[in-house]
Amino acid sequence: MDAGGSRVADLVLEGGGVKGIALTGAIGAFDEQGWSFPRIAGTSAGAIVGSVLAALQTGGEPMSQVVEIAKTLDYRRFRDRGFPGNVLGPLGVLTDPFSVLVEQGVYEGDYLHDWLRGVLADLGVKTFGDLKRVDPDGDGHVHHEYGLVVTASDISRKRLAYLPWDYADYGLDPDEQHVADAVRASASIPYFFEPVTLEGAHGASTLVDGGLLSNYPISAFDRLDELPPRWATVGVRLDALGIAAEPDPKPVRNVVTMGLALVETAIEANQAEHVLDPCNIARSVYVDTHGFGTVDFTIDAEQQQELIDRGRAAAETFLAGWDYDAWLARCRPAWVR
């Protein structure tokens, strides 16, 4: 439990493509024990699940619905080639190199964007203004002002973008920006999906998968003032701690697998030290997704249920041993002692 015995925490959800359905199982376990999440951060698949969860909570709907909503995704439609690839059927693969050269990605990403926009609209959420929250006891910074933040990698400005927090840097009103647009950017696996162009006051920026720079932003909501946290931040990761220490080598055979390999390598290199900090390990749920690939979009219903069950089991194990007061006593910064 959190300080004072309440079951409140900010939530961070790691990216991982298809494996992200395991996040819904973990959320289901938290929900069954009465937890709520004032703020949610996510990257890529974590951004997709996190946006739906934030919308459910904003509308007063049960968090448990996130599992059934996730099951309405048709993963096979993620491979939505543009013209002429979409009319060539199995031969569409022949157009993939051309799509990468011209549009910087094999697939359009329209199915994901349209599906999410529809789901959020049904829950009464369109823009980040719909997820804005009043928090007079926050630390006064923008990262406590919204119920959702997603990460994207701005390769034009060579920086990590936290959306909606950073929209002002682009000369845009955060409250007017569409949630589905930001999530689509967060999930733009390089070379796999076409990148997203963000038009701002200083020109156009190209946004790709947030996991390139921060796949697990576990410290996103940590206070920036000299007051102790009111509640914990907990996160859900899509691997089991220690299982993938020595992964089997994966052949890189084409431009798409090279793009995926580049992203995965950057993720591991950029976040290894931060994520493996003992205090961040202690506040993280580790879901064993071994055997599932990031872009296994042929995953069937039985496999999806297995991932959901793994997520639920991992969260139940975490909650059985979670002690916020013990974590705070060991890990809080020196200035709050």
Q: Is 157 helix (H, G, I), strand (E, B) or coil?
A: coil
The secondary structure of residue 215, as a DSSP letter, is S
In the chain, beta strands by DSSP E: 9-13, 40-42, 105-107, 148-154, 159-163, 191-193, 196-200, 203-209, 232-237, 284-286
Distance between CA atoms of residues 50 and 315, nearest Å:
16
Distance between CA atoms of residues 271 and 238, nearest Å:
14
Residue 150 tokens read as 């997603």
Respond yes or no: is residue 209 known to be catalytic: yes
Distance between CA atoms of residues 337 and 327, nearest Å:
13
Tokens 């682009």, residue? 170
Q: Which of 10, 80, 154, 209 is catalytic?
A: 209
For the four alpha carbons of 264, 211, 231 and 276, in that order, the dihedral sign comes to: positive
The secondary structure of residue 34, as a DSSP letter, is T
Report yes or no: 143 and 164 within 8 Å, Cβ to Cβ.
no
DSSP sequence for 50-105: HHHHHHHHHTT--TTHHHHHHTT--GGGG--B-TTGGGSGGGGGGGHHHHHHHHSE
Q: Which of 10, 31, 44, 99 is catalytic?
A: 44
Distance between CA atoms of residues 160 and 172, nearest Å:
17
If we measure between CA atoms, which residue out of 314, 232, 327, 202 comes closest to residue 277?
327
State the catalytic residues: 44, 209
